[in-house]
Structure 1
Amino acid sequence: MLAKPATSATLREINLRTVFEVIRAQAPVSRAEVARLTGISKPTVSALLQDLLDLGLVAESGQANRQELGPTYGALFFAPRPQAAHVLALDIGARRLRGAVADLECQLLARQDVDVTGQDASRMVETAAALAARLCRASGIAPDDLQHAAIGVPGVVDLREGRIWQALNVPSLDGFPAQEAFARALGLPVTLENDIHLAALGERRAGRGQDAESFCFLSVGTGVGAGLVLRGELHRGFAGAAGELDSAFTESEIDAGDPCASALLQYAATLFPAGSVPASTEELFALARTGDVHALAAVDEEARRIAGYLAPVAAVVDVELAVLGGGIGLNGDLLLDRVAARLSARVPYPPRLEVSALSDAAVLTGAVAVATREALEQILAARFTSGHRRP
């Protein structure tokens, strides 16, 4: 089928986005610089800058830190206006609901975490709406200033129906119509995404994955999940289920090689004398750091299990980097060398291993990146669909 010819409106929209991205990257930047950097004529740049001013996305700026340009002869400079809109980011877990409000340049204005242990999906929605209201108050913004929300959830997100599947750690979340429920409660357009996918995007934006074209984020904690970034973009897969590594193993293989917290503690119970088994993985790793032989044996086994989950990804996708996150994965001082040695023995081209730089903020960081991208899309697209102008 022949492609439709570009219309003047299409070209104007492309040029508007191009000019805006140059301003975001080069601010403060003059009209003449924008024209030079984009190759767009000065009269067209002037019209596009007026559009961006009308939309509230840019503002006239001073010339701070641009003295190297020499004399500017009164030229106007332009910079992004981050407060043009704000976004909400949520990270839903079985025990913690994390939330943040950010501006259009991804700067956090407020963050709060609340205990949601035992809450079912419907109650979680109510708690999220209350948290959003508190975050707005803490940020000093009105709820109407929120443009979009991005929510990280455990399980596979069905984008066609807005439902969540294979989410067993939050009561009644499996099969829950989350898209509709959250959008109604928050009064916002909502993007739902698997939490580990968002963590991978967070690492891509502000963590270890900034300089890697292709990498895997492996979260090891109460559960195990992976997010893949390939050629700089999140790989969701056909059904949004990319990274569900448990599906690659049989039940017996999982029983013998699951690196999650409960499985690790069950294994540790076979090593320690009766009555001295660590009560948590935190205690187990703390003992290992003291040189306890039983704890070190458990850590060795955990490294074998993590390598067992990473090896299929390394062999099939050939990523250059694997980032470990989650409550267990963050113990890099004990795990990185051990996992690397086992990976090298299993695959000919093992990825470089690093620990997440974002800790428990990885999901929120990715959610903010997604929400700001969607918010900007809405604002820019509205300019060409309804002539909308933001104040």
Structure 2
Amino acid sequence: MASDASTPPVARQISLRMVMEAVLHQGPISRAQIAKMTGLSKQTTSDVVRELEERGWLRERGRTQGAIGRSALTYEINDRAAFVLGIDLGGTKIRMAIADLKGIVVQEEEVPTDHRGGVHVLDQIADLARRLAAAAEIGPKALRLGVMGTPGVVDSTDGSIQVAPNIPGVDRIDVIGGLKSRLGFDVAIENDINLHAQGEQWQGHGAATRSFVFIALGTGIGMGIIAEGKLLRGARGAAGEIAYLPVGGDPYDPRGFTLGTLETAVGSRAILQRYRGYGGTAASNVREVFAALAAGDEAAATAIDETARLIAPAIVAVNAVLDPEVVVLGGSIGVRLELFERIRHYLARCGHVTPRIEVSLLGNRAALVGAIGTALSQLHNSLFGLDVTTGGLSLPIVEGRISA
């Protein structure tokens, strides 16, 4: 950076941050424009830009075009200087994406989750990450950080997975250590629904509000809570575990102790069992139940209607406790408009205050978007003292991609 060795580390970090922020916001941009935006001296700006360019974080883009005076070099973020890994680990599938420093997704893939669970899933994640990196022609040291969303309860102090009923064995192994040893870089672990909520906060219905909840319905059911602009985790990281709400069944029935009373009543397994209980024979999974519904199958219509009737009181309970501005529904099942309309119908009948509900704008990619955004935020902050998601530098979604 500056040639003056006495420059205080804090001042150096602030200068780095200011220059990187200017280039992220306005790049391609000249040194003179950076100095004007940041208030740094021209000499300090030149020193910082030179160091960032030498270290590979910035690169020349072209020259300014003006009618008066000489043209000047412009600089932009070197998007291939570093990459992050986003992982959405689910009970039935794994979604993974690699994004560059600007947030552009360069490779993405979805595969079925190894049903054996435990270390087999860690091996699967590592193999998939290497395959994506090779396809994107990314060197082994270019991937710098990963964030993985996982179902269940994640300990906020050490990132360990405490409860994960849909993925056997991962709550009995050192997932963080296992991934680092396999991948060669740090991977932070977050509850997948929290990442859903953060993705929606940045680029969905939550972007316009400071208090909302994201309810994901798929294999199971969970909720992420954004209160006054911040993710609410709870004392043990279990805030939002609405699967265990005593709604939709008998809370004293031990059959609901593992998955939770509500999840036992409205998860994908319950929907399929309900469909078959009403005499349906045309479906072997929930997707086929919705296909049967579209074909006019009466058993499918009854099963989806009953599922909505059970979900509505849970939303009313959430609304009474948290008073969110909006309830966003997501997950592979939660985004289905057929279910959404039935839930809205029952909400109007079971409470005097009907909360506003919306279907996620990000669909089933919300957790992946949240994972990539969180990874980029942590990487930028660790490198430059710059938080790109909470410091006014949100990452907009363009055609399903995250971009700066």
Is the CA contact 1:91–1:364 (under 8 Å) kept in the aligned structure 2?
A: yes
Is the CA contact 2:217–2:333 (under 8 Å) kept in the aligned structure 1?
A: yes
Is the CA contact 2:93–2:110 (under 8 Å) kept in the aligned structure 1?
A: yes
Is the CA contact 2:98–2:132 (under 8 Å) kept in the aligned structure 1?
A: yes
Query: The residue matched to 2:347 in structure 1 has which SS?
Result: helix
- Work out the CA distance in 2 between the residues paired with 1:60 and 1:279: 56
Deviation at 1:191, TM superposition (A): 0.7
Query: How high is the sequence identity, in percent, across the aligned residues?
Result: 35
Deviation at 1:84, TM superposition (A): 0.9
* Equivalent of 1:336 in 320, 340, 353: 340
Is the CA contact 2:311–2:343 (under 8 Å) kept in the aligned structure 1?
A: yes
Is the CA contact 1:268–1:277 (under 8 Å) kept in the aligned structure 2?
A: no
Q: How do 1:43-122 residues align onto structure 2 when only pairs under 5 Å count?
A: 43-62=43-62, 71=68, 73-122=70-119
Q: Gaps (5+ residues) in structure 1?
A: 1-6, 383-391
Q: How do 1:130-279 residues align onto structure 2 when only pairs under 5 Å count?
A: 130-249=127-246, 252-253=250-251, 254=261, 258-272=265-279, 276=281, 278-279=283-284
- Work out the CA distance in 1 between the residues paired with 2:15 and 2:304: 54
Q: Gaps (5+ residues) in structure 2?
A: 1-6, 252-260, 387-404
Deviation at 1:256, TM superposition (A): 9.8
Q: Deviation digits for residues 183-210 of structure 1, max 9, x if unmatched?
A: 1111101111111211222223344433
Is the CA contact 1:152–1:192 (under 8 Å) kept in the aligned structure 2?
A: yes
Q: Deviation digits for residues 297-321 of structure 1, max 9, x if unmatched?
A: 3222222222222223222222222
Q: Deviation digits for residues 28-48 of structure 1, max 9, x if unmatched?
A: 223333333333343333333
TM-score by length of 1: 0.85
Deviation at 1:93, TM superposition (A): 2.2
Alpha carbons of structure 1 residues 255 and 214: separation in structure 2 relative to 1, 3 Å: closer
Q: Which residue number in structure 2 is paired with residue 38 of structure 1?
A: 38
Q: Which residue number in structure 2 is paired with residue 379 of structure 1?
A: 383
- Work out the CA distance in 2 between the residues paired with 1:54 and 1:28: 17
Out of 336-345 and 222-231, give the one that drifted further. 336-345
Q: Which residue number in structure 2 is paired with residue 386 of structure 1?
A: none
Q: Deviation digits for residues 268-317 of structure 1, max 9, x if unmatched?
A: 34433xx6374322222223233444332322222222222222322222
Is the CA contact 1:318–1:349 (under 8 Å) kept in the aligned structure 2?
A: no
Deviation at 1:348, TM superposition (A): 5.5
Aligned positions, number: 370
Query: The residue matched to 2:240 in structure 1 has which SS?
Result: coil
Is the CA contact 2:27–2:75 (under 8 Å) kept in the aligned structure 1?
A: yes
Q: Which residue number in structure 2 is paired with residue 362 of structure 1?
A: 366
Is the CA contact 1:89–1:151 (under 8 Å) kept in the aligned structure 2?
A: yes
Aligned AA for 1:371? A
Is 1:16 matched up with 2:16? yes
Is the CA contact 2:35–2:42 (under 8 Å) kept in the aligned structure 1?
A: yes
- Work out the CA distance in 2 between the residues paired with 1:140 and 1:61: 22
- Work out the CA distance in 1 between the residues paired with 2:307 and 2:358: 16
